[in-house]
Structure 1
Amino acid sequence: MDVAKFQSLISRITEEVSGSPLNGSLESHLNAEHGPGSYLYEEIFEACKTGVRDGWLCNREADGIRFGRVLKATDATHGFSVDVVDMDNVAGPHHVHPNGEIDLIMPLSNGATFDTRPAGWCVYEPGSAHRPTVASGRALVLYLLPQGAIQFTPASH
C-alpha cells in the first residue's frame, strides 16, 4: 500500500458518495453497505494502519494528536480531501464543516469511540461543528471533506 494505491481505494467510496447530500440517510447507507466487517471497511482500515506504520499517514503531531492530509480535494477523489488522524483519549480542536464531513471510525482499542460513536461511518451535515473526541481508547479516523473545506474556531469553543 502506498499513497497512489490509497487514492485508488478511497476513490471507490468518494465516487459512490459524490453528489449525495451529507445527512443521516447517507450515514445509514454507508454503515449498511460499508460498515465494520464489510470488505471495503476492512480494506480501508488495513490501508490506514499500513500508512501509519510506514509513515505516510498521520506524519505530523500536535497536542497529542497524530494527523495529516494525505490527499487534496481533486477530480481523482471526486472533490473530497482525505485526512487521517490517530487519537488516543483526546479531544481535537473545535471546527466547522462548511460543506459537511464524512468520517470513518476505526477503533484500535476495543470499545474506543469517536464523538461517542463506535466503529463505522459518521456523517456531519454542512454547517455542523464539533470538537472531535476519541474516548475509551485509541482510534484512527478518516475524514472526507468536500472541497477540503474546514474552518477552525477560536479555542474558547
Structure 2
Amino acid sequence: MTPTEFRSQIARLTAQLAGRPLDAALDDWLNAEHGAGSPTYQQLMASCQAGVADGWLCDREGGGIRYGRIFRPADDLHGFSVDVVDMQDIAGPHHSHPEGEIDLIMPLDGDARFDGRPAGWLVCPPGSAHRPTVSNGRALVLYLLPQGRIDFTR
C-alpha cells in the first residue's frame, strides 16, 4: 500500500459521499453499506495499518496521540481532507466541525470505542463539537472533513 493507492481508495469512497448531507441517514447508510466486516471497511483498515507501519500515516505525535493529515481537501477527494489518528484510552482536544465530520472507527485491540461507538462509522453533523475519546483499548480513526474544516477550542 502506498499513499497514492490509499488516495485512490479514499476517492472511490468520497465519490459516494459527495453532495450528501452529513446526518443520521448518512451514518446509517455508511454502516449498512461499508460498516465493520464489509470489504470496504476491511480494505481501509488494512491500508491504515500498513500506512502506520510504513510511517506515512500518523507521522506526528502530541499529547499521547499519533496523528497526521495525509491529504488536504481536493477535487479528486470530493472536497474532503483525510486525517488518521492512533489513540489508546485517551481524550483528544475539544473541537467543532463547521461542515461536519465523518469518522471510521477501527479498533486494534480490546473492545476499543470512539466516543462510545464500536467499529464502524460515526457521522458528526455540521456545527457539532466533541472531545474525541478512545476508551477500552487502542483504535485507529480515519477522519473525513469537508473542506478540511475543523476548529479547535482554545
TM superposition score normalised by structure 1 = 0.97
What secondary structure is seen at the aligned counterpart in 1 of 2:96? strand
1:65 aligns with 2:65: yes
What amino acid is the match of 2:58?
C
What amino acid is the match of 1:50?
A
Tell me how far 1:110 sits from its aligned partner. Answer: 2.5
What amino acid is the match of 1:33?
E
**Count of aligned positions:** 154
Q: CA RMSD in A?
A: 0.4
1:44 aligns with 2:44: yes
1:102 aligns with 2:98: no
Cα separation, 2, equivalents of 1:28 and 1:7: 24
Tell me how far 1:76 sits from its aligned partner. Answer: 1.3
Q: Which residue in the other structure is 2:54 paired with?
A: 54
TM superposition score normalised by structure 2 = 0.99
Tell me how far 1:13 sits from its aligned partner. Answer: 1.1
1:77 aligns with 2:77: yes
Cα separation, 2, equivalents of 1:136 and 1:32: 24
What secondary structure is seen at the aligned counterpart in 1 of 2:140? strand
Runs of at least 4 residues of structure 1 off by over 6 A? none
The percentage of aligned residue pairs carrying the same residue is: 61
Q: Identify unmatched segments of 5+ residues in structure 1.
A: none
1:18 aligns with 2:18: yes
* Superimposed CA distance per residue, residues 80-110 of structure 1 (whole angstroms, 9 cap, x where no aligned partner): 0000000000000000000000000000012
Q: Which residue in the other structure is 1:121 paired with?
A: 121
1:35 aligns with 2:35: yes
